[in-house]
Amino acid sequence: MKRVAIVGTGSYVPVKKLTNLDLEKIIDTTDEWIYTRTGIRERRIADKNEATSDLCKIACERALKSAGIKPGKIDLIILATITPDTHCPSGANWLEAKLGCDNAVSFDITAACTGFIFALHVAEKLIFSGAYKNILVVAGEVMSRVVNWEDRESCILWGDGAGAAVLTESNMGAELRSTHIHTEGKSGGTLLMPGGGSKTTPISHESVHMKLHYLKMIEANKSFKVAVNKFAEAVKEALDYNGYSIKDVDWIIPHQANKRILQAMAEKLGFPFEKVYITIEKYGNISSASVAIALDEAVKSGSIKRDDIVVLTAFGGGLTWGSALIRW
């Protein structure tokens, strides 16, 4: 059987920080209220001239350098995002041009916070099929452009950034042992952006006035319980598929949704929380990019070591959830 390897990772977050103390000046909130409920202290915000493809470009360049692969050797780019530069052409098309990946095919995947794992899944299957050899998987978001900054419940959550990985068929590098993805469309209304699609065509003064083009969270308390269960289920699925137990796992790298959710997940799994890799305090929730950025940071910091068993897990709008197991 072919061996799919992750041979390089990279990430990028914008320079500008938006702290909880900054938010105290524009909405009715406090640093203590935000941190207690979410675990977030600050988040990164893209410059007004930075688009999603710009953040992804830097993350991809770092991943390519880490992998030792030139842009011309990439034959497929998969971009996970819910905030592409434009809806047409795709964000991946813009990124392809900026990277100079002239031999690559490129397309977007929309799976909200589970996007990076969905993209890994597609890349894994395409490499197994023999259709492509060197695939650049990237997740990037400029969430600050779709946030309603008057909504004190949700605007505190989101940040901007991008993370990437280079996948290829190889006996070298970290082995992507398996990926697992799921959806439940009937519950998709719990996290949605109502405006901008064919349902609200044409975009009007009324739809803008009603703030239909911002991301909305509905029944957040209910989503909390579902998220904990889906995070844990996805981890168990990856372990069962590969014949491992939770005691074999060195790191769980989850989507950075909410620190309390991740603590509850660890408790449900019987897994030490100190081995759950956390970035939410400094970056907030970056939707599809959270897992990719955390993975790169865990690798570059030396937290992940050779032969470590690493499980990625995510849950997001759609509903979507999934996992990936990697032997580093």
Q: Which residues are designated catalytic?
A: 113, 255, 285
**What is the residue type of 211?**
K
**What is the residue type of 43?**
R
Residue 152 phi/psi, 5-degree rounding, is -65, -20
Contact 311, 180 (CB under 8 A): no
Residues 325 and 248: their CA atoms lie apart, in Å, by 12
Residues 128 and 184: their CA atoms lie apart, in Å, by 26
DSSP 302: T
Q: Note every long-range contact of 304-309, with CB atoms under 8 Å and residues 24 or more positions apart, other chains counting.
A: 304/250, 304/251, 304/328, 305/250, 308/250, 308/251, 309/244, 309/248, 309/249, 309/250, 309/251
Question: What angle (nearest 5°) sits at the alpha carbon of residue 88, between those of residues 56 and 162?
Answer: 15
Task: Give the count of beta carbons closer than 10 Å to the beta carbon of residue 2.
Answer: 11
**What is the residue type of 281?**
E
Contact 100, 71 (CB under 8 A): yes
Task: Give the count of beta carbons closer than 10 Å to the beta carbon of residue 218.
Answer: 10
**What is the residue type of 167?**
L
DSSP 133: S
